[in-house]
Amino acid sequence: MSNKTQPARGMRDFLPADVRKRNYVIGIIKEVYEKYGFEPLETPAVENLETLTGKYGEEGGQLMFKILKRGEKLDVSQGEKGLSDLALRYDLTVPLARVVANYKNDLPKFFKRYQIQPVWRADRPARGRFREFYQCDVDAIGSSSMVVEAELISAVCEILQRLGFEDFIVRLNDRRILTQIVKSAGISEEKSTDALVALDKLDKIGSEGVEKELIERGIDESEAQLFVAMFEGFAGLEKANESQNTSGFDSFNQAFLNRWEEGFDENDLDELKTVKDFRQLISFCENISANQYIKIDPSLARGLSYYTGAIFEINVPDLAGSLGGGGRYDGLIGMFGKEQIPACGFSLGLERILVVMEERGMFPEELERASADVLVTIWDENSVGESLKLANELRQSGLRVFVYPEAHKLDKQLKYASQINVPFVCVMGENELKENKITLKNMQKREQQIVAREEIVQEIKRNADGSSASRK
């Protein structure tokens, strides 16, 4: 018999009020993704270890929850080897890649899927960081058209708007632009990742910090200076265009594209393609209702190494991290098959969205309502059947009904109704039963009335409309 009743470290129980909030957000995410033609996919929590091994870098290998082999398969003689054959899902992208390879013939050529499921990482728990958390992924497989990026950005913006966010920014960049900037600064290809890792910290450590880190990472001082100077130039451009900013960030976005094009080499076909793609994406975004939220950010790098094209990230002012991010990864899906299949995706962080919405009080009032609309009391043991019958009728009409389970004194039953905050109580005492009537108590107004049995449903609904109207 254990008296440890807490959930495991870094894991959480969700009591009813929590579940309702989570389901509210998930419901909107699903609804919007389905409007964009994305389809639901679910994969098992447990994957073969070899499916996941080597996909998440060294850190991923350490943070993965591995499952002990069962029975005779367990071989402890060789140390950690031979102990595990399965692991918990670490993200939703590798399972997607596996699914695309496995069901190739059953899936449409342009497979658009969303997937909202928990993942597990043995991270050190911290504020807002858990060992079990939900990812809300959406990915479009099979096309390298910028229509895909535009649609993804549009869907994600619509979700945030529907949830009530008004002050988010979709930062947009392209890995190929970053690569070209690195090249223009004279930094060698093998130092490219170092340059991007340092750049990723620009917000935190500033230009000087980045320059210092570049030099520490073995990049020549002159190259580092040039590299940093280019981003300072873009920042200056941004400042210059702030005052002209009439609708969103159009003015800076266009200025950046022009500045950037000035520097590119017209004989470089890769560069030409990048310019064309990125210009196209920006122009597509102008047709999206959320265009005002979209801002080019040439310093956006994104941590993951697998991105090959556009990258995006969503921020709000009152959260240090991002609400979500994504990008194009044309090489990743092919890792389980022979074919390279283009893909672009976005992942929303459910837990972060919930944190911000909680802090800002963004959840609709109806999520706070009681677990039932009506409590039906029990008068005595002989009339329980009548109470059950009434509950049944009320439920048929769509009301959520709690039947008090015991023939306690009425006072005690009413007190409980107050405690659980239920708005209406039905009492059927001896007189009411004789006369085929019901005493209806409006708990918010502290009023009661005698209602004919056959009118009780309408009467409750009439009262309910009244009280929700008066609350407004």
Residues 135-164 that bind a copy of itself (CB under 8 A): 140, 143, 145, 147-148, 150-151, 154, 158
Residue 59 in the binding site for a copy of itself (CB under 8 A): no
Q: Which of residues 263-292 bind a copy of itself (CB under 8 A)?
A: 280, 283-284, 286-289
d(CA 100, CA 109): 10
Q: Minimum Å distance from CB 127 to a copy of itself?
A: 18
| Of 219-227, 297-305, 416-424, 426-434: span binding a copy of itself (CB under 8 A) | 416-424
With respect to a copy of itself, which residue has the nearer C-beta, 30 or 212?
A: 30
Is the distance from CB of 342 to CB of 330 less than 8 angstroms? yes
447 binds a copy of itself (CB under 8 A): no
- Considering beta carbons, is residue 13 or 166 the nearer one to a copy of itself? 13
Tokens at 333, concatenated = 């899906």
Q: Verify binding: residue 50, a copy of itself, rule CB under 8 A.
A: yes
110 touching a copy of itself, by CB under 8 A:
yes
Name residue 457's amino acid: V
CB closer to a copy of itself, 343 vs 440: 343
Choose between 66 and 183: whose C-beta lies nearer to a copy of itself.
66
Which residues have C-beta within 8 Å of that of residue 329, sequence separation ≥ 6?
Answer: 93, 304, 306, 307, 308, 343, 344, 345
- Which x/- pattern over 357-396 shows residues binding a copy of itself (rule: CB under 8 A)? --------------xx-----x--x--xxx-xx-xx--x-
Residue 247: DSSP 8-state: S
CB of 350 within 8 A of CB of 26?
A: yes
418-437 binders of a copy of itself (CB under 8 A)? 419-420
Q: Which tokens hold the place of 326?
A: 């994504």
Q: How far is the CB of 321 from a copy of itself (least distance, A)?
A: 22
CA distances from 341 to 83, 344, 422 (A): 35, 10, 54
**Of the candidate residues 58, 72, 108, 380, the single one contacting a copy of itself (CB under 8 A):** 108
Is 13 strand, coil or helix? Answer: coil
List beta partners, residue 375. 402, 425
- 25 to 44, contacts with a copy of itself by CB under 8 A? 34-44
40: phi then psi, degrees, rounded to nearest 5: -75, 140
- Contact (Cβ atoms closer than 8 angstroms) between residue 252 and residue 242: yes
